[in-house]
Amino acid sequence: MYRIEPVGPHHAPGLRLALDRVVRAPHQPRLAEVTARIAESIARDEVRWVATVAHEVVGWCDIVVGAEASGQLEIAVLSDYRGRGIGRALLEKALARAWQHGIAEVVWSVAPTDQAGLALAQQLGFRAHEAAGPAYRDSQSVRVLSLLRPTH
């Protein structure tokens, strides 16, 4: 069974390991950098959630606030834990918190090969982004989707 919880300082080591497994970039942040970023996000009351199984971080979801009350979504679940509803649970928690924070729109860049991510986005009401400009146009490497805050 998994748990979805706001990110806390105790998640730093597990989040650092999970980042390394998912991103696999040549220059991963050090534990001290991850710890500092978590402390900053807590101080700013940012939208950051983690999924844990037996105290191990297996996924995370962030919505980083940008200009004009919009937020950029980042989400990942370790491959061994996909298909269990963890991504949906993370995303639903993060979206609820984003709406509480007054974010009016959430933008999510999804790889066109990420069929599960695209299906989840569609189920939750994300639509192809219509904004003008090259930064928001769909390309072969990413599909830009957006979701507006519900008005009900």
Give yes or no for residue 101 having a pLDDT over 90: no
Give yes or no for residue 2 having a pLDDT over 90: yes
Mean pLDDT of all residues in 50-78: 90
Give yes or no for residue 130 having a pLDDT over 90: no
Rounded CA-CA distance 40/31 in Å is 14
Confidence band for 6, pLDDT divided at 50, 70 and 90: very high
With DSSP H G I counted as helix, E B as strand and the rest as coil, what are the percentages for the chain, rounded to 5? 40, 30, 30
| 110-126 tens-digit pLDDT | 888 889 989 999 999 99
Q: Count structural domains, the chain.
A: 1
Range of the domain at 33: 3-148
What single string gives the DSSP state of each residue in 72-132? EEEEEE-GGGTTSSHHHHHHHHHHHHHHHTT--EEEEEE-TT-HHHHHHHHHTT-EE----
Give yes or no for residue 134 having a pLDDT over 70: no
pTM of structure = 0.83
Query: What's residue 138's pLDDT?
Result: 46
Give yes or no for residue 30 having a pLDDT over 90: no
Q: Report which of residues 67 and 102 the model is more confident about.
A: 102
The CATH number assigned to the domain holding 46 equals 3.40.630.30
CB-count exposure of residue 76 (10 Å: 0-12, 13-18, 19+): buried
